[in-house]
Chains A and B, each alone.
Chain A
Amino acid sequence: MENSLILIIVLLPLAGALLNGIVAAANAYRKKEIWGEKISGILAFSTVALSFILSMYAVFVKMAGAEAIACTPYQWMTAGGLNVNITFMIDHLSAVMLLVVTGVSAVIHFYSIGYIHGDKSSVRYFTYLNLFVFAMLLLILGDSMPVMFVGWEGVGLCSYLLIGFWYKEDEKAAAGKKAFIVNRIGDFGFLLGMFLIFANVGSLAIADVNEYFHQHNSMTFFWTNVAAICLFIGATGKSAQIPLYVWLPDAMAGPTPVSALIHAATMVTAGVYMVCRFHGVYLAAPVAMQVVLWVGGLTALFSATIALYQNDIKKVLAYSTVSQLGFMFMAAGAGAFVIAIFHLMTHAFFKACLFLGSGSVIHAMGGEQDIRYMGGLKKFMPATFLTFTLATLAIAGFPPFAGFFSKDEILWNVFASGHGNKIVWLIGMVAALCTAFYMFRLVYLTFFGSFRGSRQQEHHLHESPKTMTVPLMILAALSVVGGWIGIPKLLSFGAIPNYFHDYLEPTLSKYGHVHIDHYSHATEYALMALSVAIAFAGWLLARMLFRELKYRLPDPATYTGISRLLWNKYFIDEIYMKFIVNPIKYLSTNIFLNIADKKIIDGAANGSASGWKWVAVLLSFFQSGNIQAYGFYMLFGATIAFIFALFLF
């Protein structure tokens, strides 16, 4: 088998997961530890790190100059016209994803060793975490839709297990379940799209599908768009877009490194990756592109506004993630797939850093997540403060931090691309303003001013151990410099090549280019300046309001009007509960079970049984027990028979 290196990259985390899993099971069976958190943590970290190193080797050495390398371990299923191979392929798109995923995962695994220290179930934790990396690798390296789908649902499973990791608390288990089911709704769309594509293309290999839509498309305009939208429904589930974003904020119930890895850096970006993977399909489906653009834009604004009023440090970051994913979809919808992936990458760096930073804060606060009871942490945990601030600058879009380049390019593409839209651009600008505001609100409330928590907490405050701060520093550094590989030519005046763009462009424009309207350079500079100005505006506003917070933040219960609406997240959860979940439960219990099943169907069966019983009761009146009555019946019958015989024959 050629390129078995890829196979090793994929299987290493699985091996780690299996080993840790077996040990966890054996620990449980023998009621004594074979090995504890330390070895399992190191094992988990080293498999992922090794996988990262091998990925680097594969991408930079083996793949140098080539378009793609692939490896096919075996044939998965064949039935009729369906033929699915387990094939792992690294092309330029999946190479970027591969490096981001394994790299960030390795960092977060390292962080986890410090974070999970002292938890009894740490072996289980590392099992799940490694399994997640394996599933994620399947997702990004899978060469055909079913293999991708294995990873797609696999990451969903790991997300479910990790959100509900502390399953003894009911809300956490419920949050995990919610994540899985909402994701399943998305998968339902993905499956339908897959079926529709298979019925027409006759193959599920990604290259075949893109090629078909690019050149041989014999589907009508309507069905082409339906197929693309079905796939996008899958993406909205996984990447937490309207209307399926509701699971992500709840998913913050999981351990914080999990939030950083799964619910910020890697898994939730799978939808964006998928849309880019199928750019051949989307370019053939303009309506679907518009849907992607609008859903992305609306989600970006919608969740950014919710984030304005949240007081839970992780909830703010969660809504921020939803919003940033919206930005990525805006880029994809505008046809700027390269930029979408670019933002995906930079977002992975700074959002992972933010989450890990928040984890460090929560660790120091002894589990407290409410920013109303924080403040002034700057002097207690300088490393966390510094890295958190750098990442905030990046997400807010200050030049020259990573987020600036990617976000600015997204807005520019939405503005200028043939698929773009000026209204969505405006929405994006407002969302960017909100982003800067709520992020700096978070920073000021957490790290500035005076401490507002209890004495006990203040006494306990400390900087986190090295295992936790070193990953923070790595990620903060990446948040600063990560964007420099994709500096637009316009800014550097052509002096620095736009490495990122040059690397991805051939892969992502294989199935057609998107027309970019012509604007003067002056316009472009002006827009760039505007987006920087917006970042500053958000910062200044937050500084004005929250720099030196002398008063307690109001109790959310007293909110009225818009603030009440935002604090309650537009009541979306309640609406879903009332109009979807409860009706289904009501229908199942009261109508299907109690009426249809018990009354109608069983009623018919039991009714026919008891009907015969009544017939029997009726007939048994003749069975009087009196011999002479029987004699009479006999005589009567004989007479009838006699008359019958006499007159009819």
Chain B
Amino acid sequence: MGILSWTLLIPLFGGILMMLIPSRDSYSEKSSASIYGWIALGITTLAMVVSIFMLINFDNSADGYQFQEKFEWIPQFGLNYHLGIDGISILLFMLTTIIMPFSVLSSFKYIQKRKKEYYIWLLFLEFTMLGAFVALNLFIFYIFWELMLIPMFFLIGIWGGPKRIYATVKFVLFTVVGSLMMLAGIVYLAILARNTFGEFTFEFEQLMKLNIPLQTQLWLFAAFALAFAIKVPMFPFHTWLPDAHVEAPTAGSVILAGVLLKMGGYGFIRLGIPLFGDAALQAAPLMQLLAVIGIVYGACLALAQSDLKKLVAYSSISHLGYVMLGLFALTPEAIQGSILQMVNHGISTGALFALVGMIYERRHTREIADFGGLAYRLPLFSVAFMIITLSSVALPGTNGFIGEFLILLGSFKAAWAQYLAHQQVFGLVLMVFATSGVILGAYYMLWMVQRVFFGPLNNDKNKNLKDLSFREMVVLIPFIIFVFWIGLFPKSYLTKMEKSVNSYVEQYQPQELKQKLTVPDEHEGLAEKSTEIIKTKP
């Protein structure tokens, strides 16, 4: 058993352990934190600590998967328990383990009924999410992918808001529609693999060696892409997201935004593009178009919302549009930016949901119109909200900027190469629209901040609100630290994935792009020249 398995199994066994504790207080306990909360906090923290150990031992310079574990499960069908982690997944894996304790902490007050079950589901959710990030066997991946739905289904369905049933059914149905397509694709792939290698196999590395005709690839890619696009969610498969977010309990929203949405992007980068390289390249303009529509459309919809949580949910669609744009640009800058942006989005949107949850606990409303002038009553809360807002609008110096900047830069580079090669301006036009997202992003976020925090404090109900408690600060401060840490010193994050992404791009980038992107020799001296100028000293 390797360290990956340990990290995975800690929440699983923790959850099982919690089941064995006799339930004392299921339906009526008034105290803000119960024993279950503390136990769950301990378990998730333990998983976090173990994963940090793994991070320390992670070798930045190595190419390929590390900490691999492989056990045979049903060898006749090539089903193996095969785990491993590389530069692409490690940041997302760490994001998951780190975000979990804080989302547990943020639900101490929010969850007042059936606490034991709630924390058990949270732990199971962590187990499935972590599993999906490190699975190296397509079938295992699929199992984790589907298992993820069950805890989320109950988290929204039991502890959600008034329209929770509609939201949770919609969430599950949307996701399952995509997943079933993917299952069909997986079966087809396995049969292809048997025809080629003579035996069933679901190993990623084996499947990637398959030589699939383009027509078949396109169908398979469509099946996989549907599953991932719904999860991301990309326009026009996004409508489940606002409903699910609005109804979910705070921690559910934090995890949904922080981790679950990353599954889609991760699926594209880990499976969609490598398995069906040619098809992905063919579909790339379409995917980028959808991504850019998502950026602008999500931002416009966020503008039109009157509910805080919905606004944040729609902003997620916009942010994840950037991620998808970057992934399909297939330049190292853009892909690194996309992965970092997934992490960033997890941090800033996760924190925003936590903040909205805190204000909801105080006022039991999320309507923007009910607020106004809160900065005067809640200075610390406002400062925290402002910092996260700035990270969300990608202000330079915060994490959001690094991600968006790299994505846009890398995508523009690819679009420019495309333009030079074919004289097509399509990509460049897309880039203009994508970049316009920074304006809209600032507009809806700052307008919301203005309506909630500035202006006169008119509503009497807002006059006696309490500022952040110590527990809430403990939840928020790590988020804020990460905002500035990634924003000011992104290098340690970028180098984690540099090697993996570079070899990834090397493999899947289209040939013509490669040629156009190599800088001609005559410019190579430039960098040295500029440093020479700088170094002139008296």
Contacts and interface: CB of A to CB of B under 8 A. Distances in A.
Is there direct touching of A and B in the complex, by C-beta distance under 8 Å? yes
A499 to B, nearest CB: 19
30 contacts: A2-B537, A66-B537, A77-B406, A78-B494, A79-B406, A79-B410, A154-B397, A157-B390, A160-B446, A167-B375, A167-B453, A167-B454, A168-B455, A170-B456, A177-B449, A180-B442, A181-B439, A188-B435, A188-B439, A192-B412, A198-B412, A202-B523, A208-B527, A212-B526, A588-B304, A593-B301, A593-B304, A593-B305, A601-B238, A605-B240
A211 interface: yes
Contact of B436 (A169, A188, A195, A218): A188
B247 interface: no
A149 interface: yes
A214 to B, nearest CB: 11
B530 A202 contact: no
Interface stretch (B57-65, B115-123, B328-336): B328-336
Most buried by B among A149, A212, A597: A597
Contacts of A188: 435-436, 438-439
B535 A70 contact: yes
A196 to B, nearest CB: 7
Contacts of B305: 593
Given A184-B438, A184-B442, A194-B409, 8 more contacts: A76-B490, A77-B406, A77-B490, A79-B333, A79-B337, A157-B395, A207-B530, A218-B520
Contact of B300 (A195, A207, A587): A587
B406 A82 contact: yes
Interface of B: 170, 173-174, 236, 238-240, 297, 300-301, 303-305, 331-333, 336-337, 373, 375-376, 379-380, 383, 390, 395-397, 401-402, 405-406, 408-410, 412-413, 416-417, 431-432, 435-436, 438-439, 442-443, 446-447, 449-450, 453-457, 467, 488-491, 494-495, 498, 502, 505, 517, 519-520, 522-523, 526-527, 529-530, 533-538
Contacts of B438: 184, 187-188, 191
B419 to A, nearest CB: 9
Contacts of B390: 157
A587 B489 CA distance: 39
Contact of B450 (A177, A218, A589): A177
Contact of A25 (B303, B383, B490, B529): B383
Given A64-B538, A592-B304, A601-B239, A78 B491 contact: yes
Nearest to B372: A170
A647 interface: no
A70 B301 contact: no
Nearest to A207: B530
A89 interface: yes
Contacts of B406: 77, 79, 82
A601 to B, nearest CB: 5
A150 B397 contact: yes
Interface string A503-517: 000000000000000
Contacts of B453: 167
Contact of B303 (A63, A212, A588): A588
A251 interface: no
A87 B301 contact: no
B527 A203 contact: yes
A70 to B, nearest CB: 4
Contacts of A146: 396, 405
A602 B442 CA distance: 27
Nearest to A609: B173
What is the size category of the interface that chain A forms with chain B?
Answer: 35 or more
The 7 A-B residue pairs with the shortest CB-CB distance in the complex, in nearest-first order: A80-B332, A173-B454, A207-B530, A195-B412, A199-B416, A28-B379, A167-B454
B301 A597 contact: yes
B300 A196 contact: no
A588 B443 contact: no
Interface of A: 2, 24-25, 28-29, 62-70, 74-83, 87, 89, 143, 146, 149-150, 152-154, 157, 160, 164, 167-170, 173-174, 176-177, 180-181, 184-185, 187-188, 191-192, 194-196, 198-203, 205-208, 211-212, 216, 218, 584-585, 587-589, 592-593, 596-597, 601-602, 605, 609
Given A28-B467, A203-B527, A79 B336 contact: yes
Contact of A66 (B336, B523, B536): B536
A205 B366 CA distance: 46
A330 to B, nearest CB: 28
Contacts of B410: 79-80
A25 to B, nearest CB: 6
A176 B336 CA distance: 34
A312 to B, nearest CB: 22
Nearest to B242: A597
A152 B397 CA distance: 11
B304 to A, nearest CB: 4
A139 to B, nearest CB: 11
Contact of A592 (B297, B395, B522, B529): B297
A211 B408 contact: no
Nearest to B169: A609
A570 B215 CA distance: 60
A232 to B, nearest CB: 16
A149 B408 CA distance: 15
B494 A67 contact: no
A79 B376 CA distance: 42
B79 to A, nearest CB: 33
B395 A201 contact: no
Contacts of A212: 523, 526
A174 B455 CA distance: 9
Given A168-B454, A184-B442, A216-B522, A588 B300 contact: yes
Contacts of A176: 450
B533 A207 contact: yes
B174 A87 contact: no
A207 B375 contact: no
B424 to A, nearest CB: 15
A87 B397 contact: no
Contact of A207 (B236, B337, B416, B529): B529
B536 A25 contact: no
B332 A200 contact: no
B301 A80 contact: no
A2 B390 CA distance: 33
B325 to A, nearest CB: 13
Given A77-B402, A201-B523, A584-B303, A196 B412 contact: yes
Given A77-B490, A164-B454, A211 B380 contact: no
A199 B538 CA distance: 35
A149 B401 CA distance: 10
Contacts of B432: 192
Contacts of B442: 180-181, 184
Contacts of B495: 78
B304 A589 contact: yes
